Amino acid sequence: MKRLIALAISLAAIMVACDDSTQYKISGKITNAEGQYVYLDELKVSSSENVDSVKINKSGEFEFDGTVQHPTFFLLKLSEKNFITLLVDSAEQVYVSGDAANFSRDYLVTGSEGSTLVQELNQHLSNTKHQLDSISSLHVLFRNDPNYPTLKTKWEEEYKEVVEKQMKYSQNFVTTHPFSMANVLALYQKFDDQNFVVQDLQSLKTAASALNSFYPESEHVQALYANTIKLITDERNARINQLIREQGKNSPDIVLPDPDGKEIALSSLEGKHVLVQFWASQDRGSRIMNPVLVELYKKYNKKGFEIYQVSVDENRYEWLDAIDQDKLSWINVGDMEGSRTALMNYNVQSIPFNYLLDEEGKIIGKDLKGPALDRLLSKALN
């Protein structure tokens, strides 16, 4: 019995030790703050939440402890305007020292790699902004100087160099620390309210993907990943809109095989009004749309209307069976691999989806349903 009790005590001690090993501790010394309170807030995506507060003792010392499941951003605050940002992981023993008078600008942190990286990022950007402000102030001071036009050109070049240097530094930081949560801060840093420091979408995609694979449960990573997906979608929308504006026609071309294996190019149909219809044989919405298209094709085909239907199917037999059942007599193409290139190039997010092109290949309508398509064809072909 004594041996069992001793074993139980030993196991309990081990469990406590294991629990302790997952706890972080944030301690330190802040001079000239004796008797004041220091606050620990967890930094959320769009707000902060108070975790704890302690009174700084007569020696200027304080201590917090707690648990986190993944690297977490905290604000260590003396006041709303006098605080620092920490990035704390489980089991880290973080030590912070500084003086209350300039705590937010000058402090030392040890025991936390993430917090050190956060400090590096904030200080580098702060120095850059100080340089930019100094250059901007010269324009005001020397605006009436006879040599101002020459000086203005010189200062604009200096300003541009400082900006480019910061952008290069931040982009290199993201590349160098792909799996650090500090990248979240790096990717959201701004020169001002409108301009992000890191503007390279590829860097954003790489970092978001890497962090999402390591910390999918992090609120910050989830927000970053969702924002990245939106930016990618927006970029594709902007790209196709630019192509439409600049080239005046649907581009790039689509070249895919028909049921007989003959490759048919969309560009070969110039001179006709063409509906580029994306669909799938097993998609209910696509199959409901097909009878509507059959009626419109009968009505307008002899007047110069053609349908170029792109299948996103991966099963050839299902595709051919749907063509036969729905009596689709127009051009049907598909590579039986999802026609992914065509989908991506035309920014198709869902099916069924379509574009209506005029005789020159210019897009004159998109995502047109039965009545709307009928009205547009009637106007264009009559």
CB 315 within 8 A of CB 322: no
pLDDT score at 33: 95
- pLDDT at residue 205 in the model: 85
pLDDT at position 234: 77
Domains delineated in the chain: 19-111 (2.60.40.1120), 126-243 (no CATH), 255-381 (3.40.30.10)
Max avg pLDDT among 66-80, 198-212, 236-250: 66-80
Q: Which helix (H) or strand (E) holds 348?
A: none
- Write out the two tokens for 380: 């264009």
Using the predicted structure, report yes or no on whether residue 15 has a pLDDT greater than 60: no
Give the pLDDT mean for 301-319.
Answer: 96
pLDDT at 246: 57
pTM, whole model, 2 decimals? 0.59
Quick one: pLDDT at residue 331? Answer: 97
Structure letter (DSSP) for residue 190: B
Which pLDDT score, from 0 to 100, does residue 200 have?
83
Neighbours of 194 (CB within 10 A): 6
Decide if 355 contacts 366 (C-beta within 8 A).
Answer: yes
pLDDT of residue 240: 62
Report pLDDT for 362: 82
pLDDT tens column, 287-297: 999 999 999 99
Mean pLDDT of 123-148: 93
- Report the phi/psi class of residue 312: left, alpha or beta, with left for phi > 0 and alpha for psi in -120 to 50: alpha
Of 195-204, 273-282, 300-309, where does mean pLDDT reach its minimum?
A: 195-204
- For residue 356, give the nearest of 313, 305, 312, 301 by alpha carbon: 305
- Residue 316 pLDDT grade (very low, low, confident, very high; cuts 50, 70, 90): very high
pLDDT of residue 9: 38
Measured CA to CA, the distance from residue 216 to residue 354 in angstroms comes to 35
**Which tens digit of pLDDT belongs to each residue from 197-238?**
988 888 888 888 888 888 999 999 999 888 888 887 777 677
178: preceding bond cis by omega (within 30 degrees): no
Provide the pLDDT for residue 29.
97
Q: Terminus-to-terminus CA distance in the chain, angstroms?
A: 100
Cα–Cα–Cα angle for 152, 154, 157, rounded to 5 degrees: 105
Query: 20 pLDDT exceeds 70?
Result: no
Average pLDDT, the chain: 88
Q: What is the pLDDT of residues 91-120, one digit of tens each?
A: 999 999 999 999 999 999 999 999 999 999
Q: What percent of the chain has pLDDT over 70?
A: 90
- What pLDDT band is residue 7 in, cutting at 50, 70 and 90? very low
pLDDT in tens, 148-200: 999 999 999 999 999 999 999 999 999 888 889 999 999 999 998 888 998 88
Dist. CA 65–CA 192, nearest whole Å: 35
Whether residue 368 is predicted with pLDDT greater than 60 in this model: the reply is: yes
